[in-house]
Every structure is written in C-alpha cells, then in structure tokens.
Structure 1
Amino acid sequence: MTLAKGCTLCYQGAKMVLFVTGRCRRSCWYCPLSSERKGKDVVFANERRIEAPEEAVSLAERMSALGTGITGGEPLLCIDRVNEYSKALKDHFGKEHHIHLYTAQAPTKPELEQLAGLVDEIRLHPPRECWDHITDTDYIASAKNAKEMGFDIGIEVPALPGLELLIPALPYLDFLNINELEWGETNAGEMRERGHELADGVHNAVSGARDWADELLNHGKVHWCASSFKDSVQLRERLKRIAENTARPFDEVTDDGTIVYGVLDLHPGTRDAVVARCRTFLTEDEFSDCGDRVETAWWLLEEYRDRIPGKKSVVERYPDGGMVVEVTPL
C-alpha cells in the first residue's frame, strides 16, 4: 500500500494542522470538534489560536514543518482564507511545502481552479447518507475534475457501518483513508444513543470500529488510521520537532516530545534577593527570570533546593508554551 503524500508527512510529525474555521453547513452526528471550535469562525495553527497568515508561517517554522493539513469545520466556506494562508506558506517555504485540504463539500471546477497551485492534495468527506450511490454523486465528478487538474485526490471518512459501499469509488481515487471512529466531548450523547462504547480507558477509539473496515483493508488504496496512532505517534513526533527548535538549554525533552523543567515561585517582597542568590550559583543559560517565578532545570532546582527559599515544583508541558501536562511539588 502506498500512503498519500500528506499521510507520509503526518507519520513524521512534519505537518502543521491549520484549522481555518469551525463553521460548517453539515451536522454530522460523529463530528469530534471541541466546543471551543465547533460552529465558531476561528483559526488555529496546531493548538494555538492565531489571527494572521504570518503567525501560521512562524509556527510552521518552529516545528520545521514540511507541509500543512488544512481542516475545519468546512474550509471551503472561507476559500479566500484558505488561499491566503496557503499562499503565505508556499511563498515562505517554497512550492515543495505540501498542503492537503479536508472538505465535506464536492469542490466545483471554479473552486478547484482557485485552489490550483496552492493546495496539492484534496480529501473529500462524503456524508454517510450518500455512500450507497457514491458514484452518482458530485463527489466523484469533483474527483475526476481534480485528477485532470493535477491534484492528488482521495476520500477520508470515519469508520462507520457501511464502509464497503465506498468500494465502487476506488477507481476514481488515489487513496481512501479510514479514521478510527472517535468519542469526543460534543458527540458523546450521539455515541451513547447509538449504543457505542469506548474501546479502552486510554484512547478515544470506539469499540468495534475497525471491524467495519475489514472488507476494505486489503485494498492497495485503502489506509486505516488508528486513534492510538494519532495519540502515540503523530502527535509525539510533531511535539518532538517543536521541542528541538524551541527548548531552552535547561529544558529536558522527553521521549514523548514534552519538556520538563523546575519552577521557583517568587514573592514580590523577596523576588530581587532570591534572583540575586540564584545568580551566585546558576549561569545565565541555566535559569530564566520570568518575573513572578524563576524557571530552571528541574535537577538543579532539586540540587539547590535548600539554598533558595520559596515554593518549588517540577512542570511537564507541551513545548513552546503549550498545555501543561503535570505539576509535581518538589
């Protein structure tokens, strides 16, 4: 099986995720978008809210991104924004910066013409209700046009009962990606109504989802993307790339791509004295004065804990100021 180019880069953690809008005309019961994004016209690069293409370029640089995956919501509802961000990324990194686009619409020929030269790969998401007559839909007509215009074209859908109905579409596609059905905060009620359960207590995968894909998985164009892969491989490799570019000299980078460091909380009345004391046994590369706290290597904080007063803790978080994973008192 040959992976789509976008999937190959995802395996390396080398694709930035560009969420261009939470607006969408569909109301798919299985949509896993968080309440922070669903239905809202907001833009995120990876996990960070942004306002301008220049910010997307900067964040792509910080992870040495080789490509970008554009998603939503429905990106084609703001095609001008898609083009603006794609052009900024291509102009900065070069045409080899690979961009793939997810859409639940069937792009028209004029829309494809707007995307040409900016988007390299299109991933169609036909809704479940049209799978039983997929070859008679606008999605296949759009796929044919996209192929003629030089796009790589495929279908990407979650694992649902009836996946075998998509087999007739395969001759018109470069690939068919099946994502393991995932439980989320906004679709939990719909999942329960349909009798679905979590496969385990670790990942968001729905029990039995892989079985629905069995009939297709031996086909050379079909790729199964497991929920555990996204959590344990794709995200981890992306975090490692960011950490390599942004970790401070005293940050410890873990095998999961998170960073670990020590924090000394400072009280206003003693702040100057404590910082001055830190400078007597720590070099400028070994700590950072952050105003209300000092950050340093966790092992140095442990080593010198008796020489500096104040509340001390060890922090593990995503790199580049990302989400805090754990705080352990020292």
Structure 2
Amino acid sequence: MDDNTSEDLPPHSRLSAGCKLCYEGAKLVLFLTGLCQRDCWYCPLSQERKNRDVLYANEHQISTPEEMIRVAGRMSALGTGITGGEPFIYPERLIEYSKALKKEFGPEHHIHLYTGIAPNEKIINSIIGLIDEIRFHPPAEMWADLQNTPFHSSIQYAKQQGLDVGIEVPSLPNIDDLRNYLPFIDFLNINELEWGDFNANEMRKRGYLLRGDISNAVLGGWESAKGIAELPKVHWCSSDFKDRVQLRMRLRRIAANTAREFDEITGDGTIIYGVWECDGQHVSIPGNPDENLIERFDDRIETGWWILEEIADQIDGPAYYVERYPDDGIIIEVTPV
C-alpha cells in the first residue's frame, strides 16, 4: 500500500457481516440521537446533530419508526447500522426501532450497533434477538489495559450471548495499544481520523493537518494505523473508502428505487434533472413532451435535462440543471442553462 494514500479495498474475509453490507451500500444508517454521555474531542458530528436529540434515517430527519421503514424500503436495505450520539441513552427507543426493522424486513435484516459505553448484562440481554453485531468505542486512554476495564466484561458477555463483537475507533496515535486485545474480539475497525464542524479547533490545538485539499481526512492517520492494520481481524476504513465506495453504492441503491423516468442517474448515484421556474400548473411546454417526462409544481416544472436543453431558447424565466442526492437528498450543484 502507498503510505501517502488511504485507499483500501481489503479482502471481505477481514470485514464483519455489517461491514460487508455497508460495502455493498445495502445498510440503512439510523442515527438514533445526537446526545452522548462522552465528549470525545475527535467526534466528527455536524452542528445539526451533535448534542441534539434528533433522529435521521440516512439523510432524512424522522420522528417515527414508520418513517424509518419508508426510507429503508426506498433503498431496499438489507441491514441497518445504528449510531449516534449514544444509542443506549434511550434504550426504549433503541428497542422500538430495532423491533420495527426486524418485524418489517424479517430476522435476517442485519443490525449493527455502535456504543461508547460498557452496557451491563441486563442491557445486553434486552437487545438479544434484535442486534446482531455490536461495536464498542472505548476511550483511547483505556486501550493499553482494556482487560481491566468495564468494557472487557461487557465485551465478553456480549460474545457469550452470541453477538458478533468488535471495537471501532479512529486512527489516533496510540491505536497500536489495541494489538494485544485482538484475541478477545471478533474484529477491529479503524476509521481514518477526520475533521468535522465541531472538532476543527481541537484538531488545530493538537497540530493536525488535512491530508489533502479535497479530503476531510487527517494527515498521518494511516501512518498511525499501518502497523496494526495488516493483522487478522483488523479492517482499515479510510475516508476515501467511505466516500468512494460506501456512500456511492448506497446512493445507487436509493436512486434505482426512487428516480423518476427523466432523472439521469450518475455513476456516483446522484441524479441530474432540469428545472424551469414558471407557473408550473398551467404553462405549456414547447414540443409537448410526454407527461411521464415532466413533473409540475406551483412554481416550477422539473424535466429531463436534455428536454430543458432543447427548449431553453423558447422559454422565459430562470432555467437550470440540478444535481442532487436521490430521494430529495441534498443539492450538490445548480448550473444555469
């Protein structure tokens, strides 16, 4: 591997079941709450989510299990990753949403859970049959002596109950401290350390630099992890991998299920279409295109970009191309015709 990059496509034998589905873009991301008992300086959450009790299914803010199920259905999700914040802050909510997923999609719907606490036996027993895989996030200062912390007891009990159990942490300089703990877990996921809205000042205080002009990854993350990353059970998950593979594959699944007939699906899973701002309910369109190739709104008409290109010199009012994430996701670019 080139030490100056963080490109990685490890063999699937080194991925947990949850990671395999993420690799395929087949996992719904359920953000259960932004609240957390811990305050990790490197937390990458955005201002919209950190320290706020909000729920998201993929990029959609939700408030009910039914809304979550609809989002999962639109991407044909084969599994779900539950994250936060700390999901165990609201155990009833965790159980309610997990039960809804298993009821709707069946017991084979794989659910993995991230946690920054060491849940006791009672808490672990409450999620048996709902959660298939649990990923612990112990504080970095515990890594060198994890066997003598509450996390060890929690990890071993979860394994005894049949859960797939691993540790998932960022690529901090002392990541090699976890080397001796590998025999006690099923896998270790190392996420490339990334800048975010909330952690930028802390990154600067510690002297971290960005790895490149178009990446949020921190320079030196791979160098910290490479000594342990090649060991069995260990998976290095780079920032590039998440953007280049994981997100793109998930967007493609969503687009395949939600794109309109006139939406062009790009190789990255985004969609492109044309917009004409006008009295969308009453204006006629030059050339009278098939009604399946237009969608009317009160203040605009949306149609294929190629249709808009053909009629651009025959219409009045603003007209432009839009590229966005599918299923009414975020807008990436607006280009005037």
Taking structure 2 as the reference length, the TM-score comes to 0.94
Structure 1 position 34, deviation (Å): 0.8
Distance in 2 (alpha carbons) for counterparts of 1:9 and 1:103 = 19
SS at match of 2:332: strand
Unaligned runs of 5+ in 2: 1-12
Structure-1 residue corresponding to 2:126: 114
Q: Is 2:86 the partner of 1:79?
A: no
Distance in 2 (alpha carbons) for counterparts of 1:306 and 1:76 = 57
Distance in 2 (alpha carbons) for counterparts of 1:54 and 1:279 = 41
Distance in 2 (alpha carbons) for counterparts of 1:324 and 1:42 = 21
Structure-1 residue corresponding to 2:5: none
Structure 1 position 273, deviation (Å): 5.0
Distance in 1 (alpha carbons) for counterparts of 2:311 and 2:286 = 12
CA contact (8 A) 2:82 2:114 kept: yes
Q: Is 2:157 the partner of 1:150?
A: no
CA contact (8 A) 2:286 2:311 kept: no
SS at match of 2:46: coil
CA contact (8 A) 1:316 1:324 kept: yes
SS at match of 1:214: helix
CA deviation map 1:238-293 (0-9, x unaligned): 000000000000000000100000000015xxx5552xx22861111010101100
1:177 equivalent among 189, 211, 215: 189
Q: Is 2:298 the partner of 1:286?
A: no
Structure 1 position 172, deviation (Å): 1.0
SS at match of 2:313: coil
Structure 1 position 203, deviation (Å): 1.3
SS at match of 1:262: strand
Distance in 2 (alpha carbons) for counterparts of 1:205 and 1:89 = 33
Distance in 1 (alpha carbons) for counterparts of 2:282 and 2:264 = 27
Distance in 1 (alpha carbons) for counterparts of 2:43 and 2:311 = 50
Distance in 2 (alpha carbons) for counterparts of 1:322 and 1:273 = 27
What is the one-letter code of the residue matched to 1:302? E
Query: Could you tell which deviates more after superposition, 58-67 or 214-223?
Result: 214-223
CA deviation map 1:113-157 (0-9, x unaligned): 000000000000000111121111111111110111010000000
What is the one-letter code of the residue matched to 1:174? D
Q: Is 2:169 the partner of 1:162?
A: no
SS at match of 1:309: coil
Distance in 2 (alpha carbons) for counterparts of 1:157 and 1:186 = 18
Deviating beyond 6 angstroms after TM superposition, the runs of 4 or more aligned structure 1 residues are none
Structure 1 position 218, deviation (Å): 2.0
Query: Could you tell which deviates more after superposition, 130-139 or 313-322?
Result: 130-139
Q: Is 2:211 the partner of 1:199?
A: yes
Distance in 1 (alpha carbons) for counterparts of 2:147 and 2:178 = 9
Structure 1 position 307, deviation (Å): 3.0
SS at match of 2:333: strand
What is the one-letter code of the residue matched to 2:151? Y
SS at match of 1:278: coil
Query: Could you tell which deviates more after superposition, 88-97 or 129-138?
Result: 129-138
Structure-2 residue corresponding to 1:2: 14
Structure-1 residue corresponding to 2:8: none
Query: Could you tell which deviates more after superposition, 209-218 or 25-34?
Result: 209-218
Distance in 1 (alpha carbons) for counterparts of 2:293 and 2:147 = 62
Distance in 1 (alpha carbons) for counterparts of 2:281 and 2:237 = 53
What is the one-letter code of the residue matched to 1:217? A
CA contact (8 A) 1:140 1:169 kept: no
The residue correspondences of 1:234-245 to structure 2 (distance < 5 A) are 234-245=246-257
What is the one-letter code of the residue matched to 1:167? R
When residues 291 and 272 of structure 1 are mapped into structure 2, their CA distance, relative to the original with a 3 A threshold, is closer
Structure-1 residue corresponding to 2:28: 16
Aligned CA-pair RMSD: 1.1
Distance in 2 (alpha carbons) for counterparts of 1:89 and 1:52 = 12
CA deviation map 1:79-118 (0-9, x unaligned): 1111100100000000010000000001211011000000
SS at match of 2:45: coil
SS at match of 1:111: helix
The residue correspondences of 1:252-291 to structure 2 (distance < 5 A) are 252-267=264-279, 273-274=282-283, 277-278=284-285, 281-291=288-298
Unaligned runs of 5+ in 1: none
SS at match of 1:26: coil
What is the one-letter code of the residue matched to 2:162? G
What is the one-letter code of the residue matched to 2:34? G
Distance in 2 (alpha carbons) for counterparts of 1:307 and 1:258 = 28
Structure-1 residue corresponding to 2:56: 44
SS at match of 1:34: coil
Structure-2 residue corresponding to 1:231: 243
Structure-2 residue corresponding to 1:296: 303
CA contact (8 A) 2:281 2:296 kept: no
Structure-2 residue corresponding to 1:305: 312
Distance in 1 (alpha carbons) for counterparts of 2:311 and 2:202 = 53
SS at match of 1:212: helix
CA contact (8 A) 2:281 2:298 kept: no
What is the one-letter code of the residue matched to 2:236? W
